[in-house]
Structure 1
Amino acid sequence: MLLAVGLAVGLALLLWARRRCPRGAGSWGLVLRHWLARRWLARAAGWQRRRLEQACKDGPRSQELLLLEGAGTPAPDAATFRERHPLTRHSADGTEPPPSPRPPLGLWALLRSCCAASSPLQGSVLYLDVLARAYPEALSPRGTARFSWARGCSLPAAAWPLPSLYCAPEAVGAAPSRAAALYVQLLLALQERALRVLEAGLLSELYDALATLRASWEGLAQDLASGGLSPHLELPQGLRHQLEGLLAPDAARAAELRAECARGWDVIARRLWPRLQVVVVAEPGSEQLYWEALQESACQGLPLYSPFYSAAGVLLGLNLWPEQPEPHYLLCPGWAFCEFLPVEPPGAEGPPDTVPLADVREGQEYELVLTAQAGLSRCRVGEVLTVAGFHYRCPLVGPVRRLSQTLSVRGEGVPEDRFYRSLRRAVAMWPGARLVDYVCAESSLMGASSGACAPHYQVFVELQGVRDLSEAQRYKLDQCLQEDFPVYKSFRLKGSIGPLRLHLVAAGAFRELRDAVGTRGPMARVLRDHRPLHFIQSRVLS
């Protein structure tokens, strides 16, 4: 009797899955596995949410327990731990640590591990639950297109416990080049007209993928119609064979792509994927410029959700409120031991003492001090946060700036985020100009090529709408900096800082730079390495 009931239930599930399987979503077996995984993840998310809420109600105790359990060197209490371990500084060489290890993605491994307490797993399970509550159709099978690449490996996806969510296999992220990976990911996304989510490891990856659409839509349409990959695309033979097995000729979709691209690029994402609900990316940070450009054209009307906050390769916080326009991240007290150095005004006497997680103040800026199992012990990771509020006894934070991204040739200390505001103000004074991208460097990095003059800033910009700038227009940026930073102005008047030098680069130069460098994190705005500097110098027009 029980066997008969079980067979009947199983048959009913199979028939349901087959009916629910959307066109292009793969086999009904995939839909069934997806449905079962979602049911289990919903239960795991409820358990993980209750666990997180309890930890937040007693944040100080959660942090003490983390020390005792081995985040760094075990200590009887936080005060003793601070006495034993002096503050250190995180390396600011611009390299990124490798991705966090993950268990296998098989369904049974998922069932066994969903209730684990590790931060990557807990974060991903809670993220899936938050996303589904805010956007009910977001977890449809093969309803998410992911754009991501890192040299020599594939990076963890935000929703990696649910691999059936993605329309492209993870292996695409390990393609030989960034351009090839984004092209293939875009092609597989275009196959799925019913996409609900665009996900990117970095905003620049989504920005460049949609730039690929603009530059290569005819080739993409041809590949859609033929159900194959262009022979000019450089891919290993095994990967090419795997990917072509996912493609099928679709002349109707190719015709739709041609028609929509011929209409222009405004709202192109919504026109190509009418059921899109949200764009998911890592913490925007210094890449906000790309989102502003996407919102003006290709992604008009789409909300942006940034679910995670991490620093020094360690997952630290989770955004539980996707409906808010400004992301605020709950610092989860069981993920890493956090301390905070108050950001003191210039001229303050002596370094401040660190403040524990439970004692930070709303509205105050702090430098993050981190202790985690990733080998960090009381490490100043170079991140400045602002406290936006509290969830029980744990702070909600918003990243402000990275200390390594500060221009300082005479100790003047111009943070990158404020430099960007001055640059935007200057661009607004150049008739017809729109800022596409930029980087800057201190003249000392350039050596003799910077000329025999006082230390100064070198700024490289890509603009739309203008072909050149007069010397008077270029001086506007230096003038804006003097108005915004009195210390910089005083050094300029004394002659100990020389005039800023502004260079225009060729269209597409920064995209080529990202393809060539292939970093795993956001592109540095203040360059500290000769390689990207030499590359962008080679693209200077004037």
Structure 2
Amino acid sequence: MLLLWLLLLLPLLAVLWQQKPSWLILLRHQVAWRVLAWEAACQQRKLQQSTLRAGQSQQQALLWCLKRAQSPCCLPRGITDMSTFRNQLPLTKTSQVQEEESKEQLLPPSSPQYHGEASLQATLLGLVTLNKVYPEVLSPGSSACVTPTSPWLGSVPWLRHALGRVSPLGAKDTRTLLLEALMSSGLRALEAWTAVELLDVFVGLEADGKELAEAIASGKLGTPLPSRAAELQEALEQGPRGVMALNLWPEQPQGSYLLPPGIPFIELLPFKEGTQEEATSTLLLTDVQRKEEYELVLTDHASLTRCRLGDVVQVVGAYNQCPVVRFTRRLGQTLSVRGEVTDENTFSVALAQAVGQWPGAKLLDYACVESGILDSCDGSAPHYEVFMELRGLRNLSEENRDKLDHCLQEVSPHYKSLRHRGSVGPVKIHLVGPGSFRVLREALAACPSSSFPPEMPRVLRLSHLAQLLWKRVIS
């Protein structure tokens, strides 16, 4: 009861003490964290109960979706249970869903539209977990929202202030919000509405850090802060460090994620690399096997479409009856010019090895194109074209360019065989200017059938997108 009264009094206290003395800021922060810890403990118990009876929880989640379906007319009659639902509704792919829903002006199932209990649980457990591992990140005044839309739930807006967020929310552009946040010496964390937007912020921070520091030093938004600008420049020179994704185990070196039995309704489609036949029968959370790989299938109440996302995960553990997974690859992000299959994971491993041999280079982003898309064979064997945005290098010697092709041969025996026979030509590397991939994301978002946030492909299939990067080549 005491916590409830404090919760109700917090907005009033904020109005009464508009000058925000330090003791009040500290008090609000401590009370907020006590409330959060209490509610997070309740959500942890709910998660424990739902994962202990995952089968029943999934059945309840599906029934919830069926009752609240926004398009009930698309449902075959007689669907009242999980078995009938999975037998009568076919699997569809993300591209098909986006094409259909773009005609109806609906959001695709992968959009961030899940609110209420599930979002509250994810937010609270994520914050508490982050606070345990990196407590300095969520101290008063240490974080800021850098997108006009906040990731916080609308039902608890007071928490943004009670936890001491640096930047007030408003109708501002991301660059201005970022510049305001960077002016604070206590800044430790940045927030954004989506992961894609946050990635763009960090990429832009690395690319335009010098310009931002100069703006802070000159007082573009107010008082000149040369000492803060020097701190920022020093931090940027050290490079990024810390957490780029959040899960229940952020201290582990590789990201592991719990698949909960709530909404959206999750199924897993068995995946076998190198097989031509696709599995048609999905498994529920309780049926998967450790070390096996599966493609994620999601269903929500908006369209009741069993959507194959194209994301492949490997089961690496269990949390009660639910699997803990690690994302391994995305289907459709494969290169093939002679029948070979070079998937995203294989190529990224080779690319990381090659970049590690380029002194001073840091890879910011990249995309691949099969030479036929650019019509750039010029009588030579078909090959891969790679567009990269690097920091630390503006040019590459031919010797360094060749290292990517050698690394790719080391990780892919099939590719090596085709290269030795001359059936496939060497990889060609193109360096693009700063901000090129931000422009690419804007072009993707402008596509009528694009998801929100737009999915960033590693392999470009459309000529106009490849040409967009080609026009920004600097080396």
**TM, length-normalised to structure 1:** 0.69
Contact 1:68-1:75 at 8 Å conserved across structures: no
Supply the distance in 2 between the matched residues of 1:163 and 1:324 (Cα, whole angstroms). Answer: 28
Distance apart, 1:394 and its partner CA: 0.5
Number of matched pairs: 437
Q: Pairwise mapping of residues 78-157 of structure 1 onto structure 2 (< 5 A)?
A: 78-91=82-95, 97=108, 100-101=112-113, 116-117=116-117, 119-136=118-135, 138-148=137-147, 154-157=148-151
Contact 2:346 2:412 in 1 (8 A): no
1:276 paired residue number: none
Q: 1:51 aligns with which of 31, 42, 46?
A: 46
Q: What do residues 104-126 of structure 1 show as CA deviations (whole Å, max 9, x unaligned)?
A: xxxxxxxxxxxx53x22332233
State the SS of the aligned residue for 2:262.
coil
1:363 to 2:291 alignment: yes
Q: Whole-Å Cα distance in 2 between the matches of residues 125 and 62 of structure 1?
A: 20
Give the Cα separation in 2 of the matches to 1:431 and 1:102.
44
For residues 199-230 of structure 1, what are the alpha-carbon distances to aligned partners after superposition, in whole Å with 9 as ceiling and x for unaligned?
Answer: 34333422322443322312222226x62xxx
**1:99 touches 1:155 (CA, 8 Å); kept in 2?**
no
Instruction: Tell me: CA distance 1:188–1:427, structure 2 relative to 1, closer, same or farther (3 Å).
Output: closer
Aligned equivalents of 1:102, 1:56: Cα separation in 2 = 19
Structure scoring higher RCO (CA < 8 A, sep ≥ 6) equals 2
**2:243 aligned with 1:304:** yes
What is the alpha-carbon distance in structure 2 between the residues aligned to residue 10 and residue 508 of structure 1? 46
CA distance in structure 1 between the aligned counterparts of 2:183 and 2:403, rounded to whole angstroms: 47
Q: Alpha-carbon deviation of 1:53?
A: 1.0
- Residue equivalent to 2:407: 480
Identity of aligned residues (%): 41
Does the residue aligned with 1:66 lie in a helix, a strand or coil? Answer: helix
**Counterpart AA for 2:312:** V
- Is residue 152 of structure 2 the alignment partner of residue 163 of structure 1? no
Cα distance change on mapping 1:194 and 1:483 into 2, 3 Å: closer
Residue in structure 1 matched with residue 189 of structure 2 by the alignment: 197
For residue 539 of structure 1, what is the amino acid of its counterpart? R
Distance 1:466 1:139 in 2: 35
Alpha-carbon distance in 2 for matches of 1:451, 1:163: 57
The answer on whether the counterparts of 1:100 and 1:120 sit within 8 Å (CA) in structure 2 is no
Counterpart secondary structure, 1:171: coil
Match of 2:367 among 436, 439, 443: 439
| CA deviation after TM superposition for structure 1 residue 484, in Å | 2.0
Indicate whether 1:188 and 2:129 are aligned: no
- CA RMSD for the aligned pairs? 3.9
Scaled by the length of structure 2, what TM-score is found? Answer: 0.77
Q: 1:541 maps to what in 2?
A: 474
Cα distance change on mapping 1:400 and 1:159 into 2, 3 Å = farther
State the shift of 1:18 in Å.
Answer: 5.8
Distance 2:210 2:442 in 1: 17
Shift, 1:382, TM fit: 0.2
Alpha-carbon separation, structure 1, partners of 2:358 and 2:185: 41
User: Does structure 1 retain, via aligned residues, the 8 Å contact 2:385–2:427?
Assistant: yes
Deviation by residue 1:136-180 (Cα, 9 ceiling, x = unmatched): 4554554312334xxxxx4441576433243223335x63xxxxx
Q: Which residue of 1 aligns with 2:428?
A: 501
AA at the equivalent of 1:163: R
Look up the SS of the partner of 2:170 in the other structure.
helix
Deviations 1:304-357 (A, max 9, x none): 1623xxxxxxxxxxx222333322111110122222122214246663632221
Question: 1:432·1:466 contact (CA, 8 Å) conserved in 2?
Answer: yes
Q: 1: distance between equivalents of 2:268 and 2:135?
A: 37
Question: Which deviations, in whole Å up to 9, do the C-alpha atoms of 1:274-314 show, x marking residues without a partner?
Answer: xxxxxxxxxxxxxxxxxxxxxx82344xx31623xxxxxxx
Unaligned runs of 5+ in 2: 70-74, 446-451
Match of 2:449 in 1: none
Q: Secondary structure at the match of 1:386?
A: strand
CA contact (8 A) 1:21 1:31 kept: no
- For structure 1, the residue ranges without an aligned partner over 5 or more in a row are 1-5, 104-115, 149-153, 176-180, 228-248, 269-295, 308-318
Aligned to 1:320, what secondary structure does the other structure show? coil
**2:262 maps to what in 1?**
334
